[in-house]
Amino acid sequence: IIPDEKLAKVFGSKKAINMFEMTKKMNQHLS
C-alpha cells in the first residue's frame, strides 16, 4: 500500500500502511 505523492511527502512511505488503515477507519465513520 502506497499513499499518493502528496501524502508520501507529508507522512513518509514508511507509514503508508498505517495511513491506509487510518483512511479505512475514517471512511467507515464518515459513511
Residue 24: what pLDDT? 85
Residue 22: what pLDDT? 80
Q: Comparing C-alpha atoms, which of 25, 17, 18, 22 is closest to residue 1?
A: 17
Note whether 2 and 13 are within 8 A (CB): yes
Residue 27: what pLDDT? 81
Helices of type H across the chain: 5-11, 16-30
Residue 25: what pLDDT? 81
Note whether 17 and 1 are within 8 A (CB): yes
Residue 8: what pLDDT? 65
Note whether 18 and 1 are within 8 A (CB): no
Query: What's the length of the chain?
Result: 31
Q: pLDDT tens digits, residue range 1-31?
A: 555 677 666 655 555 667 778 888 888 877 6
